[in-house]
């Protein structure tokens, strides 16, 4: 076996900051940590607004060229995969353009700034037939995938409760971030953090039928929400809460969730992302939650890594995620159900919009999900 | 100093089961663990429906006499304190009767089966001038009191979030419990567990202005709710969630709450009731939540106990609570703000009722609290 | 059933401070928390050096009389159980005198100030035929008993490792305590803390064959050791470490131990005394330590307490311990293997002495345990 | 700034398995995660015994060529850094040969199979003047470096206790590993795990003056030790324990240590390598261990990574370690004190040997460290 035998795929990336670093790192690691890689990522070009910064990023991460005009990426014949890591306002147009130019597309979450824009992206891209993935990377945490497998295996029985909250604490900063700009971001904690909660709720428990809740802005002068509070009802009958805030001092990246079923329970905290707490009502006299260090040979994604107990980091989830997308491209296979498609991105946005409307109108919102056919028909 | 110098108070107790054991134990321990006791509790009489059981309870806990008719307690001239531990349906009449007969009254939570009944109890009892306490014993957990002191001392700054959930897991039992009977209990997890969440939310964060949420019954044939999910808005502007369930497998008595303020955060779990997690944004490079083992000489209630690190149990919270009530009687002092008065019992019931209405009507409920004057005027 | 049907036992207690409070509390609670109690403890008399303090203690805890001369207790015909809680130097003479006067005896740990004194106490008391118990109360923590049951049930397989350390942090105090006085205490952390480690090592893993280690005094002017470090070899072949210190800042009462066997492992920390960590190599894909909240209906001692999850405190271990001793007296049953007899007290002292000798001589000490027959023969 | 401006360094690697993957990954990541890299690692050649495997490794990790004869690496003019990841028996000869050929050398721990061999490697290599590092990668865990900085900053005061144990649980496997072969490995848990404990003890607390303890082999037919138990005395006066085992079921990679000083304490567990527990005796009423998530902008190594709370993995420690070594080469700076030099590798081996002798002879071993001058003189 040799490098020669591995097909290449040209990558074009829009964005070079936090997420740019995370994705570039992942594409580079896929080449040797996952072996053999489904496709060999070739870093063709990177685009960004600041000329000096994007040039340095290209040099640093090993892109062959750079540009300040993302349209060049869309036109570049060496690029087969367009990875959109730009601010939310820059998700729709480049993503759609890339797909319509025949590129497979990855787009950071939230897909659009609201459900309408998200649906537009999904429907336009779906119509092209390319592969698409909305980068909800937390589906690719080994403990989250293990949770999904335990649930699918029936080990929790019927699910009754989901209790999800994404707590960070940097919201009091007065830095001038695009994430605080309504036009650029669409929303604050809602699209940034609550969207992750919604996505994992859907991935692990199922579709959300109704929500009730509200957004709250605490910081004076802030255009977007700092916090989101909601109750949720799932189609399956399960119920729970969805929360997100940038103002929970001491919680740096605490995406915590708990699921209770008729046979067992699970608990997870992203600050200890290698651990899954597992309870089973198996009649054992020594009953209690197990702290499972998700790092065994037969645990998800662990074929890429180290001996048991040698934990992975947050950045490694992108290796799993982008490997999954490359594998789907290589095999012409479905991105879902484990990868979040643009439909998943759209559906998360519908839930987020419903929470916002619920707060504005002071009432429970039953969610109506649009299908693709309307959209495609509408095109 | 001697026993002779300590005034006695005659105790009459209604109920002999779980709570009867907890309260009898506390009254007995107050005599020597708190020293000198504010009043020496004399166990005069105990009432209960089952003749054999109540007779054994009297024998076991050291009550001088027993009866199957609680009215005898109300008439008994040796009783100055009436402690009502009966099922919820038996809260109103005996408590009011005892107060109107001039007895100080303790009543288990929830005060009444709904806000109307709770208000009735409060207003009728308040009119008599006796001391009254609704037995929200978790205010008397050392870690909870320490939390209150830290908040009052300004160590958390302005509060932004309260995240409270009371999780138990015995709800699938098919035992024939009064707690599953709507007439006897009024509600399920709502009055049993969520009322505790509401009370501590009020005690630690302040008055609740509005709620949005619902009740859910999962177990077929169950008359009352198994679970409660709600979002809350506090008068101060803080926001959060209130949850309770009897169906969270693996959580035996997990009353967990978190508070985030502009200067710090607190976290607590009743299953580790001796610990308070404390975060302060103090600029320390080594930032993080402290696990405070609340057992120091200068910690709340610790003057009654052991050297540091020698933890107390759940049953000991009742020693603190009833000691507080006896001290209020002895000094003719206010039961509040640390003891929950019947007004607190009523206000918790208003919040619980509002959650129920919110679920039924699918909308946010702004809570209007009735004052005493209306009620007393209505009498 | 009635109080009348329960036999009484007269208690005489030497000591009224920390341990006096703990034991008096336990005797009082046994009367109603354990039901029916095996014997009804009657608090006859208490002895102590300080007249005012002992008088107050008698009044507080309900002893009928008090004295500053422990010999009065030995002579008192109403006393059938002599509970020696005095400083270590006062263990031998009163305990032996009480036993020789026909009283059942409880003696605080360490039994004597060294192995010779401990053997003397054991042999003299054993010769009288009374019941005797060395108050190693940590055997009566529910989680510790559950650990023993799991081990006896074979759930850990053959034991390989014991890792025990008792960490406290008050050793820098300059208070004038008898525990710092060599004549009164015999040793420092060794007899106070390491003795507990040795006792649980023996109770859970088995007899210790050899040790290697040393004592260390850090605090200038301190007569006794602040810390003990040792390795241990068990007769079974298991190996491990035994540690104790009064100088581990932040550890208030952290008696932590871990046991590893061929089938599983256990971990415990006294600061979370209601929890036992249990690992079993059962092939489960979700492998990990379970956090068992030891509070289930079928857990040790739990018949005396509350519903699951409503935890007990440190003081409650004495209820279990003294209940056990009263039951042994009532039934004329063995105090061992769950209660520590004076033989256990002696054997712990042999191990402690061996660690001291090992440190002094810089070599591994094989422990030779003396039997009773030599001793009794020597009498 | 550009790639062109960054000097390259040619890497030759011996070994392609577990450690080969870890080091190759690190060298590749240094190029862009640390920015600008001190030197750009160029993967020149890799050597290994199995032709097919080493060829695949070269292909996978991107080495320009491969060989089954490590001597080719030593001769290769394009290689400036020789990274020896072979089994212990293959540490001495290739490492010395590479250094004597003028290559900077990294060698996996333990440096040699015993102190004599380690001293030989150290002295021969030191005589050449090249940079050398013994790959004790755990010095490069952010939490470990933070611990060192806190200690150096005086935040713990004078150190009194070190309690270190490295617990794994794969020792019952019957796989035919070189680690079980005495000739190849030298020792078992001693050199594999206890050496790490010794190194961090030295790095954090200081030089070890004496040890007492033993090795133990539990598994029938096993040539090397499964477990090590020892007490330790440090030159500073601190005392503690050193333990290692491959037979602690449920502990996958639990390198746990605690340090107690006169002002504070630290606790760490490699299974939660992003967390450091910090206690300070600062008079705060809310006293307790802080759980510090070591991921802040001002925390060690964090300039290479993500926003706070986005944790790193075990594999990332090698990025820090090899970056440190490249920086030392680039700046002609000392590898120590943060990097472990071959002197550190030798000194750890002296401690390990002393534990072995202590067990064999049943006595405390005072450690005499040889200096370089004797050795170089001896050459």
Q: At what angle do helices C316-331 and C18-33 cross, to 10 degrees?
A: 60
pLDDT at C1: 43
> pLDDT tens across B178-210, in order?
999 999 999 999 999 999 999 999 999 999 999
pLDDT at B1: 42
Question: How much is the ipTM here?
Answer: 0.96
Is there a contact between B243 and A163 if contact means CB atoms under 8 Å apart?
Answer: yes
Indicate which of D65, D138, D245, D271 best probes the interface with A, i.e. most A CBs within 10 Å of its own CB. D271
Is there a contact between A240 and B229 if contact means CB atoms under 8 Å apart?
Answer: yes
pLDDT at D2: 52
pLDDT at B3: 72
Kindly report the nearest CA distance between residue D135 and chain A, in angstroms.
16
Q: Is the pLDDT of residue A377 over 80?
A: no
> pLDDT tens across B66-97, in order?
999 999 999 999 999 999 999 999 999 999 99
Measured in whole angstroms, how far is the alpha carbon of residue A70 from the centre of its chain?
Answer: 22
Q: Tell me which chain D residues have a C-beta less than 8 angstroms from the C-beta of A170.
A: 307-308
In this prediction, residue A376 has a pLDDT band, given cuts at 50, 70 and 90, of: low
To the nearest 10°, the Cα dihedral for C303, C309, C314, C319? -10
> pLDDT tens across C324-376, in order?
999 999 999 999 999 999 999 999 999 999 999 999 999 999 999 999 875 45
The mean of the pLDDT values for chain A is: 96
> pLDDT tens across C50-73, in order?
999 999 999 999 999 999 999 999
Strands B104-107 and B132-134, sheet pairing: parallel
Beta bridge partners of D106: D83, D133
Length of chain D in residues, anyone? 379
Distances (CA, A) of C110 to A126, C191, C340: 77, 6, 11
| Chain B residue with minimum CA distance to D291 | B288
Q: Is the pLDDT of residue C49 over 80?
A: yes
Q: At what angle do helices D18-33 and D51-61 cross, to 10 degrees?
A: 20
Q: Summarize the confidence of residues C20-33 as an average pLDDT.
A: 97
Q: Summarize the confidence of residues C93-105 as an average pLDDT.
A: 98
Lowest average pLDDT, out of A45-54, A152-161, C172-181, C185-194, goes to C172-181
Contact C121, C93 (CB under 8 A): no
Q: Tell me which chain C residues have a C-beta less than 8 angstroms from the C-beta of A298.
A: 285
To the nearest 10°, the Cα dihedral for D98, D100, D101, D104? 60
Q: Is the pLDDT of residue B50 over 60?
A: yes
User: Which parts of chain D register pLDDT below 50?
Assistant: 1, 375, 377, 379
Indicate which of B253, B302, B316 best probes the interface with C, i.e. most C CBs within 10 Å of its own CB. B253
Residue spans of alpha helices (H) in chain D: 18-33, 51-61, 70-75, 92-100, 115-126, 142-152, 182-185, 189, 195-204, 316-331, 342-361, 372-378
Q: Tell me which chain C residues have a C-beta less than 8 angstroms from the C-beta of D358.
A: 212
| Chain B residue with minimum CA distance to A168 | B260
pLDDT at D379: 46
Subunits with 3+ Cβ pairs within 8 Å of D are A, B, C
The mean of the pLDDT values for chain B is: 96
- Assess whether the previous peptide bond of D337 is cis (omega < 30° from 0): yes
pLDDT at B174: 86
Contact A111, A346 (CB under 8 A): yes
Size of interface C-D (CB pairs under 8 A): 126
pLDDT at C374: 59
Q: Summarize the confidence of residues B231-242 as an average pLDDT.
A: 98
> pLDDT tens across B104-157, in order?
999 999 999 999 999 999 999 999 999 999 999 999 999 999 999 999 999 999
Q: Tell me which chain D residues have a C-beta less than 8 angstroms from the C-beta of C165.
A: 163
From CA B206, how far away is CA C344, in angstroms rounded? 55
Subunits with 3+ Cβ pairs within 8 Å of A are B, C, D
pLDDT at B379: 46
> pLDDT tens across A265-292, in order?
999 999 999 999 999 999 999 999 999 9
Out of A231, A239, A261, whose CB is closest to B212?
A231
From CA D145, how far away is CA C325, in angstroms rounded? 52
Out of D59, D311, D315, whose CB is closest to A271?
D311
| Chain D residue with minimum CA distance to B300 | D285
Query: Which residues are within 8 A (CB) of D330 and not within 5 positions of it... i.e. 6 or more apart?
Result: D7, D38, D39
pLDDT at A1: 43
C218 burial level (CB within 10 Å; 0-12, 13-18, 19+)? buried
Query: Which residues are within 8 A (CB) of D361 and not within 5 positions of it... i.e. 6 or more apart?
Result: none
* CA-wise closest residue to A47 among A14, A10, A20, A75: A14
Rg of chain A over all Cα atoms, to the nearest angstrom: 20
Rg of chain D over all Cα atoms, to the nearest angstrom: 20
Indicate which of D25, D252, D292 best probes the interface with A, i.e. most A CBs within 10 Å of its own CB. D252
Assign D177 to helix, strand or coil.
coil
Assign B254 to helix, strand or coil.
strand
| Chain C residue with minimum CA distance to B253 | C309
Out of A31, A36, A315, whose CB is closest to D306?
A315
Is there a contact between D245 and C161 if contact means CB atoms under 8 Å apart?
Answer: yes
Q: Is the pLDDT of residue A195 over 60?
A: yes
> pLDDT tens across D240-282, in order?
999 999 999 999 999 999 999 999 999 999 999 999 999 999 9
pLDDT at D1: 42
Is there a contact between D285 and B296 if contact means CB atoms under 8 Å apart?
Answer: yes
Q: Tell me which chain A residues have a C-beta less than 8 angstroms from the C-beta of C296.
A: 285, 287
Q: Tell me which chain C residues have a C-beta less than 8 angstroms from the C-beta of D227.
A: 160-161, 239
Q: Tell me which chain B residues have a C-beta less than 8 angstroms from the C-beta of D146.
A: 286
Query: Which residues are within 8 A (CB) of A371 and not within 5 positions of it... i.e. 6 or more apart?
Result: none
Subunits with 3+ Cβ pairs within 8 Å of B are A, C, D
From CA B292, how far away is CA B299, in angstroms rounded? 11
> pLDDT tens across A332-349, in order?
999 999 999 999 999 999
Which 3-state string (H, E, C) describes B42-90?
Answer: EEEEEECCCHHHHHHHHHHHCCCEEECCHHHHHHCCCCCEEEECCCHHH
pLDDT at C379: 47
Out of D216, D232, D288, whose CB is closest to C239?
D216
Q: Tell me which chain A residues have a C-beta less than 8 angstroms from the C-beta of D1.
A: 56, 59
Which 3-state string (H, E, C) describes A173-192?
Answer: CCCCCHHHCHHHHCCCHHHH
Kindly report the nearest CA distance between residue D285 and chain B, in angstroms.
7
pLDDT at D99: 98
Q: Tell me which chain B residues have a C-beta less than 8 angstroms from the C-beta of D288.
A: 278, 290-293
pLDDT at D115: 98
Strands (DSSP E) found in D182-311: 208-216, 227-234, 239-245, 254-261, 264-269, 275-280, 289-293
Of chain D, the end-to-end C-alpha distance in Å amounts to 46
């Amino acid at each position: 076996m040799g490098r020669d035998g591995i097909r290449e795929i040209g990558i074009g990336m829009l964005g070079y900051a936090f997420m740019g670093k995370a994705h570039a790192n992942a594409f580079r690691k896929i080449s040797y940590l996952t072996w053999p890689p489904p496709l060999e990522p070739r870093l063709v070009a990177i685009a960004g607004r600041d000329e000096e910064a994007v040039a340095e990023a290209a040099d640093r991460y090993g892109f062959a060229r750079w540009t300040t005009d993302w349209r060049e990426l869309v036109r570049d014949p060496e690029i087969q995969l367009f990875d959109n890591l730009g601010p939310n306002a820059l998700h729709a147009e480049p993503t759609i353009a890339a797909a319509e130019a025949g590129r497979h597309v990855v787009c950071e979450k939230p897909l659009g700034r609201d459900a309408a824009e998200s649906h537009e992206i999904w429907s336009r891209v779906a119509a092209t037939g390319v592969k698409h993935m909305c980068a909800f990377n937390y589906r690719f945490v080994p403990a989250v995938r293990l949770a999904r497998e335990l649930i699918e295996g029936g080990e929790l029985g019927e699910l009754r409760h989901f209790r999800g909250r994404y707590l960070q604490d940097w919201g009091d900063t007065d830095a001038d971030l695009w994430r605080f700009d309504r036009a650029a971001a669409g929303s604050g904690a809602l699209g940034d953090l609550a969207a992750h909660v919604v996505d994992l709720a859907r991935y692990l428990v199922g579709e959300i039928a109704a929500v009730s809740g509200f957004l709250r802005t605490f910081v004076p002068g802030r255009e977007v929400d700092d916090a989101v509070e909601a109750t949720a009802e799932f189609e399956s009958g399960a119920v729970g809460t969805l929360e997100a805030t940038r103002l929970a001092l001491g919680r740096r990246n605490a995406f915590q969730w708990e699921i209770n079923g008729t046979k067992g329970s699970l608990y997870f905290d992203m600050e200890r992302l290698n651990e899954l707490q597992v309870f089973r009502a198996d009649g054992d006299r020594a009953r209690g939650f197990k702290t499972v260090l998700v790092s065994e040979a037969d645990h998800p994604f662990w074929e890429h890594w180290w001996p048991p107990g040698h934990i992975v980091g947050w950045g490694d989830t992108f290796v799993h995620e982008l490997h999954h997308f490359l594998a789907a491209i290589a095999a012409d296979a479905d991105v879902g159900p484990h990868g979040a498609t643009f439909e998943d991105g759209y559906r998360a946005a519908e839930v987020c919009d419903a929470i916002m409307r619920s707060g504005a109108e002071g009432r429970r919102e039953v969610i109506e999900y649009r299908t693709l056919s309307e959209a495609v028909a509408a095109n």
